[in-house]
Structures are given as structure tokens and as C-alpha cells.
Amino acid sequence: MANSRSFSASAPSTLTPPPVPGRGRLRAVAPDEVVQIADFLPPGATWLPAPQHTLPTLPGQPPMVGYLVLVPAGQEPVAAAPEPVLPEPRQAPAPGPIRIDAVQRAAEVEGRVLDLTYLEFELLAHLVAHPHRVHTRDQLVTTVWGYGHVGDGRTVDVHVARLRRKLGAEHRRTIQTVRRVGYKYAPPTAR
């Protein structure tokens, strides 16, 4: 089988990052550039288009294209060097009375720990991480629930109502409804 297919990218890249030791050779391809894939494959390997049913689909996006690389039996793939584990950067606490601890998966409002379900925590953490930003219901479903979620914006409405109830009367207004759009987290301003 001949390996004479070409790849193209949607946007040209003028910067090519330096190669990382122990990794494959990856770089952006200009739209008009023809690349010989055989130059990137290990010796004896071939590549085939992946069956369409094996590729993920994103709502509103064109179908994805994928390829399978077949390596001869007994040929070990080049293992990448293990990446050093870096400590997670500590984020400055978000303004407002709600505090999120992503490591311990805990949320509290003015020192009172909230008893949240997994999705309630994810939704609150996402909103608090982006204060004053308006999120549509579809954006929240995609970000918090994931692409494979079957449901609608009404699911978000129900979870927001539960969150507001758990925040209490004094802090329920920190999650504001933007009519006909979605929701935003608006911490109270210092007086």
C-alpha cells in the first residue's frame, strides 16, 4: 500500500516549536503544503483512514477525520520520556463569599461548607472561576456535563435552582440569570 496522502491544516503556522526529546515529530502544516506521511511513520508502518463510527462527533461541527497507524508486530513504539510532575499553581481566591477548593472538591460560603452533588460542584466551580462572564445554557451543558450529554438547557435551570437554595437567601443572588441567555456569577462588590 502506498503512503502518498497529504495533510493540511486550517491555519498556517509561522512558528515551529523546538522538538521535545522522546516525542514524535509534530508541527503545523500550511494549507498549501504537501507532507509525505511516510517520513513521519516508523519503518514498516502503514496508515489507514479511521472508520467514521469510531470518531467523536461535535454538535454543529463538521465530521472529524482520523487515521489508524499500523505498526508491524514485535516493533516497540518509541516511548516518550516521562514528564516531570509540576505542582499545581495556586490560584488567587476568587472574589466574593464563595470559596472553591478544587483539590479537596469542597465549596464553602462564608466558612459554611456546602453539601453539593458532583454536577452542582462542577457548575458552581465553573461559574466562580469566571466571575461576571455570561454563560449560555448550551455552553454550560457542554462544559460541565460534557459533549455526550443528552438533555437541554432546562437541566442547567434545575441545577442552578438547587445551587441557589444551598447557597442560602443571603448569597443566592450571586448566581444571576441573564434573561433568554443563561447565567453568570456576580460576587457582591465591597462597600
pTM of the shown model = 0.52
pLDDT at 23 (0 to 100): 47
Give me the residues of the chain with pLDDT under 50, please.
1-17, 19-20, 22-23
**Other C-beta atoms lying within 10 Å of the C-beta of residue 89:** 6
pLDDT of residue 124: 93
Q: What is the pLDDT of residue 121?
A: 92
Neighbours of 130 (CB within 10 A): 14
Instruction: Please name the residues in contact with 187: beta carbons below 8 A apart, sequence gap of 6 or more.
Output: 94, 95, 96, 97, 98, 131, 174
Query: Of 152, 97, 57, 98, which Cα lies nearest the Cα of 140?
Result: 152
Strand arrangement of the beta sheet that strand 175-178 belongs to: 135-136, 182-185, 175-178
| pLDDT attached to residue 13 | 45
Residue of 143, 127, 119, 118 lying closest to 94 (CA atoms) = 127
Q: What is the pLDDT of residue 34?
A: 74
The pLDDT of residue 63 is 73
